[in-house]
C-alpha cells in the first residue's frame, strides 16, 4: 500500500496561477474552434467544388493534417517555420494555428458528410425555383445538413479542448504548463495534476451537456 | 475511384516534396551581416530563453515574475553592459532549437553541458556545480549507496536526458530504468517513488531536498552528500563567439568579486557548489 501525504493548500496559495492557466486554455480553445471551423468550411467547399485547382489541394490538406500527430505539428510549426520563412510567431499563435489546422481538417470532412447527405433533388429543386448557389446552400442545404453535422462536430470541439494541453510542449502557459510550473515551486505534483484533471472536467462536462441539448433540439 | 486515389497520393507527395524543397532552399532569413553581439549592443537588449528550475530560476506562479540566483547573476552581467534583458520561456528539450532559430540569443538556466549537446550549441564555462541526489521509499533498507541501486529488479525513475538518466545508463546497467519525459515538472522521478512506480528516483539534490521536506513517504538516499556533481553553464548559438566571450568574461568577473557565491547563498540552494578561487604562486 502506497502512503502519500496529500496537501491541497498549495492550490489555494497559487489559485491565480491556476485561474490564469484555465483562462488561457479557454481562450486557446475558443479561438481554435472559431478558426478551425472557418478553415473546415472553406476546405469542405473546396473539396465539393468541381474545379480541380480547389478540389485536389483540399483533399491533400485534409490528408496531411488528419494524418500528422498534433504534437509533431506543433513542434514543427514552432521550430521549423522560423528558419524556413524567416518569421517568428509566439508560442500561443503557433498553438492556435496548429489546433485550427487539425480541427479544420477533421471538421471539413464532417461538413462535407453533412452536405452530401442532403438528397441531390433538393439542390435541383432550388435551382428550378431560381435560387442562387449561395441561397441554396444557406437556406436549403445547410439547415438540413446540420442534423448530420452537429453530433460529430461537437465531439471534435470537445477533443480540441483536451488537445490544448499539448501546447505545453512549446511553453504556452495553458492549464497543464501553469500546473507544471506550480509543481516546480510547490513540489506537490499529485495535488496539482488532480486539480488540473478536475478543472478539465469542470470545463468539459457543462459544455458537453449544452452541446447534447443543442443536438436534441435540432 | 482509382483516379481519385491516384490524385490523392500525388497531392500528398507534392506537399511532402514542397516541404523538402523549402528545407533545401536558402532560408528566408536575411543574411546576417552583423554578429549577434553587435545586434545586441545596437539594440541595448538581449533576448534570453529561460527554463524554470527553482531555486536557480523561479517563475512566480501567480505573477509570472522571474527570480532565482541564476536570473540575478545574468541580470548583473547585463546591467554592467547597460543591456535590457527580454525573457522568453523555453523548455528543456526545446532551448537548443530556440537558440538556433533565433527566438533567443542565450539560454539561461542550470544547464548541464554534454558532448552531444555541444554539437548543436555553445556553452559558457561552468559557474557552479550542482549535486545529484535521489530518493527511495521511507522504509527502504536495501540501498545505502548509489552502487546498491545496480541490481536486477530495481526500478529507477529518471528524466530523459538528465544527468541521472545518463549516469544510470552508464553505471547502473542492471537496474530497470523508468525514463520520464522532460517537461517542466522536475519532481517526476520523485513522485514515481512516492506513488510506488519506482524503487528510486534520481534528480538534482536541490529538488530532492525540498521534496523530502514535504513528502514523508520518501527519504533522501544521499542526505547532504550528492553521489556526483555536474557543471552548470549557459548556452548560446554555435557561431556566436563574441557573445560567448562576453558571457564568459561576465562570469569570470562576477566570480572574482564574489558575486556568484553571495547571490546563490541568498537563495540557500542545497547541493549547489561554487567555484573555488585558485591561486598559484609564480616563482
- Residue range B63-115, pLDDT digits in tens: 999 999 999 999 999 999 999 999 999 988 889 989 998 899 999 999 999 88
Greater confidence, A160 or A2? A160
B65 touches chain A (CB under 8 A): no
CA torsion, ordered A44, A50, A53, A56, to nearest 10 deg: 60
Residues of A in contact with B103 (CB under 8 A): 82, 88
**Cβ neighbours, 10 Å, residue A91:** 24
A83 touches chain B (CB under 8 A): yes
Residues of A in contact with B107 (CB under 8 A): none
A130 touches chain B (CB under 8 A): no
Enumerate residues 196 to 225 of chain B having a beta carbon within 8 A of any beta carbon in chain A. 196, 207, 210-211, 213-217
In a domain, A44, yes or no: yes
In a domain, A38, yes or no: yes
B56 touches chain A (CB under 8 A): no
Q: What does the alpha-carbon distance between residue A141 and residue A122 come to, in Å, rounded to a whole number?
A: 7
Residues of A in contact with B94 (CB under 8 A): 75, 78-79, 169-171
pLDDT in tens, A198-215: 999 999 999 888 888 877
CB-side exposure of A18: number of CA atoms within 13 Å?
20
Mean predicted confidence (pLDDT) in A167-191: 91
Give the ipTM of the model, two decimals please: 0.73
In a domain, A55, yes or no: yes
Residue A50 parent element (H or E): none
How many distinct structural domains can be found in chain A? 1
| Model pLDDT, residue B2 | 56
In a domain, A117, yes or no: no
A188 touches chain B (CB under 8 A): yes
What DSSP string runs through B110-146?
A: EE---TTGGGTEEE----EEEEEEEEEETT--S-SSG
Question: Taking every pair of C-alpha atoms in chain A, what is the biggest distance, in angstroms?
Answer: 75
Q: Distance from B241 to chain A by nearest Cα, in Å?
A: 21
CB-side exposure of A29: number of CA atoms within 13 Å?
23
Measure CB to CB from residue B7 to each of A56, A75, A91 and give the nearest one.
Answer: A56
Percentages (nearest 5) of helix, strand, coil residues in chain A: 85, 0, 15
Enumerate residues 84 to 103 of chain B having a beta carbon within 8 A of any beta carbon in chain A. 89-91, 94, 97-98, 100-103
Give me B134's grid cell: 535521489
In a domain, A130, yes or no: no
Q: What does the alpha-carbon distance between residue A18 and residue A143 come to, in Å, rounded to a whole number?
A: 40
What b/e sequence results for A166-195 when a residue is b if at least 16 CB atoms lie within 10 Å of its CB, and e otherwise?
A: bbbbbbbbbbbbbbbbbbbbbbbbbbbbeb
Residues of A in contact with B8 (CB under 8 A): 56, 59-60, 63
Q: What angle do CA B189, B195, B201 make, to 5 degrees?
A: 25
Q: Distance from B40 to chain A by nearest Cα, in Å?
A: 18
pLDDT in tens, B268-278: 888 888 877 66
Q: What does the alpha-carbon distance between residue A203 and residue A174 come to, in Å, rounded to a whole number?
A: 14
A112-116, A182-186, A202-206, B197-201: segment of lowest average pLDDT = A182-186
In a domain, A49, yes or no: yes
Helices B241-256 and B69-80, interaxial angle, to 10°?
110
- Taking CA atoms, B78 is separated from A217, B35, B247, in Å, by 62, 18, 9
Inform me whether the pLDDT recorded for A127 exceeds 90: no
| Model pLDDT, residue B26 | 46
Conformation bin of residue B74: beta by default, left when phi > 0, alpha when psi is -120 to 50: alpha
Question: Taking every pair of C-alpha atoms in chain B, what is the biggest distance, in angstroms?
Answer: 90
Q: Distance from A218 to chain B by nearest Cα, in Å?
A: 34
B53 touches chain A (CB under 8 A): yes
Q: Distance from A168 to chain B by nearest Cα, in Å?
A: 8
Residues of chain B with pLDDT under 70: 1-12, 14-33, 183-184, 277-278, 283
pLDDT in tens, A37-58: 999 999 999 999 999 999 999 9
Alpha helices in chain B (DSSP H): 2-24, 36-43, 69-80, 95-100, 163-171, 188-194, 205-214, 241-256, 259-266
Q: How far apart are the first and last CA of chain A?
A: 51
Residues of B in contact with A75 (CB under 8 A): 94
Contact A64 B12 (CB under 8 A): yes
In a domain, A133, yes or no: no
Residue B233 parent element (H or E): strand B228-237
| Model pLDDT, residue B184 | 66
| Model pLDDT, residue B25 | 47
What is residue B106's DSSP assignment? E
* CATH number, domain containing residue A155: 1.10.3720.10
What DSSP string runs through A123-162?
A: HHHHHHTT--HHHIIIIIIHHHHHHHHHHHHHHHHHHHHH
Report which of B250, B211, B208, B256 is spatially closest to residue B233, judged by C-alpha positions.
B250
Residue to substitute from B97, B184, B211, interface A, most A β-carbons within 10 A: B184
Q: What does the alpha-carbon distance between residue B81 and residue B44 come to, in Å, rounded to a whole number?
A: 9
Measure CB to CB from residue B29 to each of A83, A181, A188 and give the nearest one.
Answer: A83
In a domain, A25, yes or no: yes
Greater confidence, A124 or B108? B108
**pLDDT level of residue A187 (50, 70, 90 thresholds):** confident
Q: Distance from A131 to chain B by nearest Cα, in Å?
A: 31
Q: Residue A62: which domain range?
A: 9-109+148-216
Contact A181 B61 (CB under 8 A): yes
B14 touches chain A (CB under 8 A): yes
| Strand B58-59, strand B66-67: pairing | antiparallel
Amino acid at each position: 500500500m502506497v502512503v502519500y501525504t496529500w496537501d491541497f493548500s498549495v492550490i489555494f496559495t497559487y489559485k491565480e496561477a491556476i485561474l490564469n492557466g484555465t483562462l488561457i486554455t479557454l481562450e486557446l480553445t475558443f479561438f481554435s474552434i472559431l478558426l478551425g471551423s472557418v478553415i473546415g468550411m472553406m476546405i469542405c467547399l473546396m473539396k465539393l467544388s468541381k474545379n480541380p485547382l480547389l478540389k485536389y489541394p483540399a483533399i491533400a490538406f485534409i490528408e496531411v493534417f488528419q494524418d500528422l500527430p498534433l504534437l509533431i505539428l506543433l513542434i514543427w510549426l514552432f521550430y521549423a517555420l522560423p528558419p524556413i520563412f524567416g518569421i517568428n510567431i509566439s508560442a500561443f499563435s503557433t498553438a492556435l494555428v496548429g489546433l485550427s489546422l487539425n480541427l479544420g481538417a477533421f471538421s471539413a470532412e464532417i461538413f462535407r458528410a453533412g452536405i452530401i447527405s442532403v438528397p441531390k433533388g433538393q439542390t435541383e429543386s432550388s435551382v428550378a425555383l431560381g435560387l442562387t448557389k449561395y441561397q441554396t446552400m444557406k437556406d436549403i442545404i445547410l439547415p438540413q445538413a446540420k442534423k448530420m453535422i452537429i453530433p460529430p462536430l461537437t465531439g471534435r470541439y470537445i477533443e480540441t479542448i483536451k488537445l490544448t494541453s499539448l501546447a505545453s510542449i512549446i511553453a504556452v502557459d495553458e492549464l497543464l504548463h501553469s500546473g507544471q510550473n506550480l509543481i516546480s515551486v510547490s513540489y506537490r505534483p499529485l495535488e496539482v495534476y488532480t486539480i488540473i484533471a478536475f478543472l478539465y472536467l469542470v470545463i468539459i462536462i457543462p459544455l458537453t451537456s449544452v452541446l447534447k441539448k443543442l443536438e436534441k433540439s435540432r | 475511384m482509382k483516379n481519385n486515389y491516384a490524385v490523392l497520393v500525388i497531392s500528398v507527395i507534392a506537399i511532402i516534396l514542397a516541404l523538402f524543397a523549402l528545407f533545401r532552399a536558402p532560408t528566408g532569413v536575411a543574411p546576417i551581416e552583423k554578429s549577434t553581439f553587435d545586434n545586441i549592443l545596437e539594440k541595448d537588449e538581449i533576448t534570453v530563453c529561460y527554463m524554470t528550475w527553482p531555486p536557480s530560476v523561479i517563475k512566480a506562479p501567480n505573477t509570472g515574475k522571474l527570480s532565482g540566483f541564476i536570473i540575478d547573476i545574468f541580470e548583473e552581467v547585463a546591467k554592467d553592459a547597460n543591456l535590457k534583458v527580454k525573457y522568453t520561456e523555453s523548455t528543456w528539450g526545446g532551448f537548443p532549437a530556440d537558440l538556433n532559430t533565433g527566438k533567443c540569443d542565450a539560454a539561461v538556466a542550470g544547464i548541464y553541458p554534454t558532448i552531444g549537446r555541444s554539437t548543436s550549441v555553445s556553452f559558457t564555462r561552468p559557474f557552479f556545480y550542482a549535486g545529484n541526489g535521489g530518493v527511495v521509499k521511507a522504509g527502504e533498507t536495501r540501498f545505502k549507496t548509489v552502487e546498491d541501486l545496480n541490481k536486477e529488479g530495481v526500478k529507477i525513475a529518471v528524466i530523459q536526458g538528465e544527468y541521472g538518466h545518463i549516469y544510470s545508463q552508464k553505471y547502473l546497467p542492471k537496474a530497470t530504468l523508468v525514463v520520464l519525459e522532460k517537461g517542466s515538472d522536475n519532481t517526476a522521478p520523485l513522485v514515481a517513488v512516492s506513488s510506488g512506480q519506482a524503487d528510486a528516483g534520481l534528480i538534482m539534490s536541490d529538488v530532492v531536498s525540498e521534496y523530502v521536506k514535504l513528502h514523508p513517504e520518501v527519504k533522501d538516499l544521499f542526505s547532504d552528500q550528492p553521489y556526483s556533481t555536474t557543471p552548470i553553464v549557459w548556452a548560446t548559438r554555435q557561431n556566436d563567439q563574441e557573445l560567448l566571450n562576453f558571457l564568459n568574461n561576465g562570469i569570470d568577473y562576477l566570480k572574482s568579486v564574489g558575486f556568484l557565491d553571495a547571490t546563490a547563498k541568498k537563495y540557500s540552494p542545497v547541493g549547489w557548489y561554487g567555484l573555488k578561487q585558485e591561486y598559484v604562486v609564480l616563482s
